[in-house]
Chain A
């Protein structure tokens, strides 16, 4: 069942001449993990803001079409009704951290305090969420004394702790170290498997391919392609329109031209690439096992 539904959505920021989103139609089912990819300026962040209600409630501007999330229609509701259903982690954690709290622990409790969660439950939820994202050891630090990637984990945790039905993430790992990124993707995947709906704007296509159920490719404010991650992320249409692609894809594409890639479908993940290139190296003592 669709929990997020955008119908003919067009949006223009105040004081701009042309719409940043044009005629977007998108349905996301409950528990689905959808990744949105696209070049800078394609409208990824704006789409996140729209699903999270910041557009139009915070940014104003002109929104046409309908945005419905968890049975509530965006334009006819207030932001207060939205926050219980939807959580948004900003691209830049500096913009999200409240500035009102001295420690990471209090920062993560901030949202729960505001919706009046009882103290004991609040403590349990904060501690559980910190454990999940691996930041328990940062509990007593000031949010502002942390490195960029650590701040990003705090920002994500402060949203997860709210247990939203729909989790919207705008490049949540852009400042994280590589293995930390992979771990956070694993956490997000687990949330989706437990029934949370996830919409993620992301450049890191290797992890998108591995963890997301579906990929939406956004280009100049419109949906260019959507579907199965491998099909979308290896499409020539993406490569010709300035989308980021994985090195596995670009290298296999070049290898194919030289007759060194034997399959039809190009790879996006390491496992797909290993499997495909193994056909080029048909040695019995081939060592490409996991």
Chain B
């Protein structure tokens, strides 16, 4: 399902002009990371995708729906949104009910609800915690419960707002795995993140926002290599990208595999020839 954003402006009632002319298209099945300074408009932008916010001017289309013409409840069929803070999202007495709430409300049949709940719990490794109260879960698992309660709605588009905040290495790997599974199923995944290494390892397209405008939009290697521009929106390139640059690598590297490949080729180039 295609997302089309055209000349989007948004001003909060307080007068803060958060978005100042954003235009972009995201094709069905794309995996996009949004990066940028605190207050650059990332969360404001994605809140337009499920109708939580309405454009001051410009428009947002989800498939053939203009978000101005459809309720948040209806848009929830197409766009799932995992909040930054799971505590703002969870309310049921146990994980099973929490995860079933979304698909039930979308009107799926009982059988369908059951199978989607089972699938979402398996994907988030929560299958053994169905009976637990979400607030008895550790923050790690509460985050996964928030993910599961959105994944179970089986929307074509899934948005994650800073999914790795406060998470440890093991859980970041779990979240990366969820995103990979969604990619394999052809879902569109849009993720806001400050974790630029996580971004480098899991996303092929990166958008950088700065003061309510698009700063960069392109393939991850192209965007993440632009240290000077990224710095204007308070983003550092990924660790291995910075390292590659300091070592004088010819191409931009993001991942460990890319780094080691480039290291090997640089090593053989610089090695003195012996015959």
Contacts and interface: CB of A to CB of B under 8 A. Distances in A.
Contacts of A174: 165-166
Given A175-B194, A179-B231, A180-B234, A260 B38 contact: no
A280 interface: yes
Contact of B166 (A91, A274, A281, A287): A91
Interface residues of A, number: 55
Contact of B264 (A146, A175, A260): A260
Given A41-B138, A260-B264, A274-B243, A179 B162 contact: no
B270 interface: yes
B230 to A, nearest CB: 9
Contacts of B40: 177
Contacts of A145: 12, 14, 16
A247 interface: yes
Nearest to A45: B139
A32 interface: no
B36 interface: yes
A256 B2 CA distance: 45
A39 interface: yes
Interface string B161-183: 01001111111100000000000
A277 B243 contact: yes
Given A176-B194, A242-B168, A270 B243 contact: yes
Nearest to B247: A288
Interface residues of B, number: 50
A281 B262 CA distance: 11
Contacts of B98: none
B263 A255 contact: yes
A76 interface: no
A150 B260 contact: no
Interface of B: 12, 14, 16, 36-40, 43, 84-85, 87, 138-140, 162, 165-172, 194, 196-197, 231, 233-236, 238-240, 242-243, 246-248, 256, 259-260, 263-264, 266-267, 269-271
Interface of A: 38-41, 91-92, 94, 141-142, 145-150, 153, 171, 174-182, 203, 206, 242-248, 250-251, 254-255, 258, 260, 270, 273-274, 277-278, 280-283, 286-290
30 contacts: A40-B138, A40-B167, A92-B85, A141-B14, A145-B16, A146-B39, A147-B38, A148-B162, A149-B38, A149-B194, A175-B38, A175-B162, A175-B165, A177-B194, A177-B234, A178-B196, A180-B37, A180-B38, A206-B239, A243-B169, A244-B168, A244-B169, A244-B172, A246-B239, A247-B197, A247-B240, A251-B256, A277-B247, A278-B247, A283-B270
The 9 closest A-B pairs by CB, nearest first: A149-B38, A283-B270, A287-B248, A179-B234, A244-B169, A247-B239, A177-B234, A39-B168, A40-B140
